[in-house]
Amino acid sequence: MKTETIAALQQARTKRTAVTLATRLSDATETLVYLDKAEGAMAGDATLVSVARRAMAIGRSETLDLGGEKIFLNVYVPPPRMIIVGAVHIAQTLAPMAAMLDFDVTVVDPRGAWATSARFPGVKVIQDWADEAFQAMGLDVSTAVVTLTHDPKLDDPALEAALKSDVFYIGALGSRKTHAKRKERLAEAGITDEMFARVHGPVGLNIGAKSPAEIAVSILGQIVEVRARRLEILAGPKVVAA
């Protein structure tokens, strides 16, 4: 592996850009394939580039046989992100547990007394309204949003912004009753029933969770499941190399 290749992979991580490193196993020749460009000796090979992009979409590294030459496609996708709205008690447990699952975690809350680094050691904390924080961060398909405040004026704008993006998971803490009221309020903001169906609420798998840690397990279990199912579907019909 070239030193410049390592630098390029590190840069892609910093910019949260997905990249596939294609390596020809016979002589270690390298090509980097991004969503919008390809760089290196094999960048002109249309089959290689398309298979590398598909591998990137499903986040799975694989070996490609290209006219008898074995090419290893190593996928480097940015870690999934979790944005937790509400620097509350449950968030204090959910944030470190999500980090253990390799999520890049950010806690957002406009309330200064809650959104402190002291309450969330080692976690990114943004003291701002969720919709404004989302705009600065940019919601994408590798992001999960979980609202925990129970407070409509904090949760609703976050849910509205999340629903208008393509985040892979949206969850909202609150009882069935709270959730039904939430649906009515968001309908007034133009969120249709179909759109609202994307919100997991009451949040998490129904495992009888009571304590903050148990609730965090139930939320994370659901997120892991949603993410795995999505990747399975994306991996579905295998593209035949031309």
Partner 1 sequence: MSDALDVLDQVGKWKSSGKGVAIATVITTWGSSPRPVGSQLGVDDSGAMVGSVSGGCIEGAVVKEALDAIKDGKPRLLDFGVTDEQAWDVGLACGGKVQVFVEKVG
The residues that touch partner 1, with contacts defined as CB under 8 A, are 1-3, 6-7, 9-10, 13, 23, 25-28, 59-63, 72, 74-79, 102
Q: Which residue number, 34 or 72, has a Cβ lying nearer to partner 1?
A: 72
Q: How far is the CB of 17 from partner 1 (least distance, A)?
A: 13
Give the integer Cα–Cα distance in Å for 87 and 28: 48
Closer Cβ to partner 1, 67 or 208, answer by number: 67
Please give the Cα distance from 121 to 139 (Å, whole number): 24
Q: Of 80 and 86, which CB lies nearer to partner 1 in the complex structure? A: 80
CB of 65 to partner 1, least distance (A): 12
Rounded Cα–Cα distance for residues 151 and 175 (Å): 13
Closest distance to partner 1 from the beta carbon of 77 (Å): 6
d(CA 126, CA 119): 12
Smallest gap from residue 219 Cβ to partner 1 (A): 21
**How does DSSP assign 65-117, residue by residue?**
EETTEEEEEEEE-PPPEEEEE--SHHHHHHHHHHHHTT-EEEEE-S-TTTS-T
Nearer to partner 1, 39 or 62 (CB): 62
The contacts of residue 55 (CB under 8 Å, 6+ apart) are 20, 61, 62, 73, 75
In angstroms, the CA 163 to CA 23 distance is 39
Contact 160, 131 (CB under 8 A): yes
Minimum distance between the CB of residue 8 and partner 1, rounded to whole angstroms? 10
Whose Cβ is closer to partner 1: residue 28's or residue 180's? Answer: 28
